[in-house]
Amino acid sequence: MSSEPQPALSTDPLANKQQAWSALFSEPMSQLVQRYTASVGFDQRLWRADIAGSLAHAAMLQAQGVIGAGDLADIRRGLGQIAQEIENGSFVWKLELEDVHLNIEARLTALVGDAGKRLHTGRSRNDQVATDVRLWLRGEIDTLALLLAGMQRALVELAAAHADTVMPGYTHMQVAQPVSFAHHLLAYVEMFARDAERLADVRRRTNRLPLGAAALAGTSYPLDRESVARTLGFEGVCQNSLDAVSDRDFALEFSAFAAICMVHVSRLAEEIVLWMSQNFGFIDLADRYCTGSSIMPQKRNPDVAELARGKSGRVVGHLMGLLTLMKGQPLTYNKDNQEDKEPLFDTVDTLADTLRIMAEMVGGITVKKEAMERAALKGYATATDLADYLVKKGLPFRDAHEAVAHAVKIALQRGVDLAELSLAELQALQPRIEADVAAVLTLRGSLAARSVLGGTAPVQVLAQVARHRARLAG
């Protein structure tokens, strides 16, 4: 996974002294409660967003005359040093300081004194964490958008070479009608294109600023929320302070997007596994995406595709987890919300890695054209073409359907394809059949005939390839 390495946490038995809210408390927190309630083990991943949010907040506080210019300078210097310490691994994360926010704030105060203590003016961890998660997620959304485009490009480029490669199209997993391999691949491009649209939509609603809502009710300091939003690149501010600190629907929407996208990946992965099996033999995968068996020497297993399929389970599970997390929460912030992070992080990591590896693997697919074509010839895939032919000769469709069913029955009994029945045999079934039927019963004839917009005819498919290439350029 691509998550950052997690530094060890230090635990200090006298730690309660360091807690930001400890003056009221007369007994220390037990180690178990400390461990149970702390989030720093995972939310330290938000540190960049946390520092960016603090810098924007501090600059606004100074511009509004709430803190002095000297304080702002100290805060900037301190946060700059903290960023360096975190990056070079020397920052000491402390469990007793609960979360990323208090860890950074405590270190800031240790470095610059009172200015560090002034930073939290007009702010609460409630609007702070909501801001951090949104900022962090926005960055991940932008990375995922690029990865989704890469996935689509890999499929489009493979498709570009196979507008004329015929395979059986299936319904009910039964051979239905011939389609091109390109057409089949482009179906997935459509799915991923819609995923990208959904993601762009999620981004708009994620990109609104909670900061300024403070604990829940807003604040009495003269904050300029619009300017903080501009500094941080938010498109607007959350308009209700209670909503701002408490709802996580942007995370739910993101998670729903990710679950749908992983389901699309999983369907593709499933087909890759099937196509690579001996029973289909439609494709081969590069060795680097397969593993062997410790007991069966002949095996080359498509593990990467299987895992992509399997990992859809956890992403779908995270969506259920987040929905359930939100469901019973009264307004406003509740500590429950701390539980949004691990599922969200794992969703991002799983989806990003899966899109990366699947795009790579698709680029390395070897297509076995002959096997695809042989399979398309087996299941009477051109039966509909024969019926359509008869309709063009004036027969009502239902009668044509029945005549062709008879033809298929005879062919089945003889163990041959429709195209192998003689003209005389066909004419005995339906006198309107003439010599020109031969062209209709070929796979390529069938493909070319489906030239409706969105159909499998090579001219249509190549037009789609061009459209996708233009859409995905740049």
- The catalytically annotated residue of 2, 3, 277, 293 is 293
- In this complex, which beta carbon is closest to ligand ARG, that of residue 337 or of residue 350? 337
Known active-site residue 183: no
Compute how many other C-beta atoms are within 10 angstroms of the C-beta atom of residue 116. 22
Pairwise CA distance, residues 34 & 28, whole Å: 10
Supply the Cα-derived Rg of the chain in whole angstroms: 31
CB of 93 to ligand ARG, least distance (A): 13
CB of 332 to ligand ARG, least distance (A): 10
Of the listed pieces 66-74, 217-225, 331-339, 434-442, which binds ligand ARG according to CB under 6 A? 331-339
Give me the residues paired with residue 206 across strands. Answer: none
CB of 128 to ligand ARG, least distance (A): 7
Of the listed pieces 48-56, 330-338, 441-449, 450-458, which binds ligand ARG according to CB under 6 A? 330-338
Q: Tell me which H or E stretch contains 357.
A: helix 341-363
What does 37-106 look like in DSSP terms, one character per residue? H--HHHHGGGHHHHHHHHHHHHHHHHHTTSS-HHHHHHHHHHHHHHHHHHHHT----BGGG-SHHHHHHH
208 SS3 class: strand
Which residue among 99, 247, 271, 388 contacts ligand ARG (CB under 6 A)?
99
Find out whether 361 and 284 touch, Cβ atoms under 8 Å: no
- The catalytically annotated residue of 172, 220, 294, 422 is 172
Q: How far is CA 69 from CA 58, 59, 64, 219, in A?
A: 10, 9, 11, 22
Q: Cα 89–92–98 angle (5° rounding)?
A: 125
In the block, residue with structure tokens 């298929």: 408
Which residue among 57, 118, 125, 208 contacts ligand ARG (CB under 6 A)?
125
CB of 245 to ligand ARG, least distance (A): 9
User: Which letter, b or e, does each residue of 255-279 get, where b requires 16 or more Cβ atoms within 10 Å of its Cβ?
Assistant: bbbbbbbbebbbebbebbbebbeee
Of the listed pieces 124-132, 146-154, 172-180, 403-411, which binds ligand ARG according to CB under 6 A? 124-132
CB of 340 to ligand ARG, least distance (A): 7
Binding mask 4-43 for ligand ARG (x = CB under 6 A): -----------------------------------x---x
Tell me: does residue 338 bind ligand ARG (CB under 6 A). Answer: yes
- In this complex, which beta carbon is closest to ligand ARG, that of residue 74 or of residue 127? 127
Q: How many CA atoms lie within 13 A of 173 on its CB side?
A: 5
Tell me: does residue 96 bind ligand ARG (CB under 6 A). Answer: no
Tell me: does residue 456 bind ligand ARG (CB under 6 A). Answer: no
Pairwise CA distance, residues 2 & 423, whole Å: 63
Known active-site residue 293: yes
Tell me: does residue 123 bind ligand ARG (CB under 6 A). Answer: no
- In this complex, which beta carbon is closest to ligand ARG, that of residue 102 or of residue 304? 102
- In this complex, which beta carbon is closest to ligand ARG, that of residue 251 or of residue 440? 251
Pairwise CA distance, residues 285 & 299, whole Å: 13
174-180 and 208-209: which strand pairing?
A: unpaired
CB of 191 to ligand ARG, least distance (A): 34
Size of the site for ligand ARG (CB under 6 A): 10
Non-local (6+) Cβ contacts of 371 within 8 A are: 280, 281, 282
**Stretch 134-153 residues interacting with ligand ARG (CB under 6 A):** none
- In this complex, which beta carbon is closest to ligand ARG, that of residue 74 or of residue 96? 96
How many helical (H) and strand (E) elements, i.e. helices and strands, does the chain have?
20, 6
Q: Both tokens of residue 195?
A: 């995923």
Tell me: does residue 131 bind ligand ARG (CB under 6 A). Answer: no
Of the listed pieces 7-15, 184-192, 258-266, 335-343, which binds ligand ARG according to CB under 6 A? 335-343
Which residue among 60, 104, 106, 129 contacts ligand ARG (CB under 6 A)?
129
Find out whether 283 and 368 touch, Cβ atoms under 8 Å: yes
- In this complex, which beta carbon is closest to ligand ARG, that of residue 338 or of residue 430? 338
Tell me: does residue 337 bind ligand ARG (CB under 6 A). Answer: yes
Tell me: does residue 126 bind ligand ARG (CB under 6 A). Answer: yes
Nearest to 180 by CA among 466, 457, 404: 457
Residue ranges that bind ligand ARG, judged by CB under 6 A: 39, 43, 99, 125-126, 129, 333, 335, 337-338
- The catalytic residue positions are 172, 293
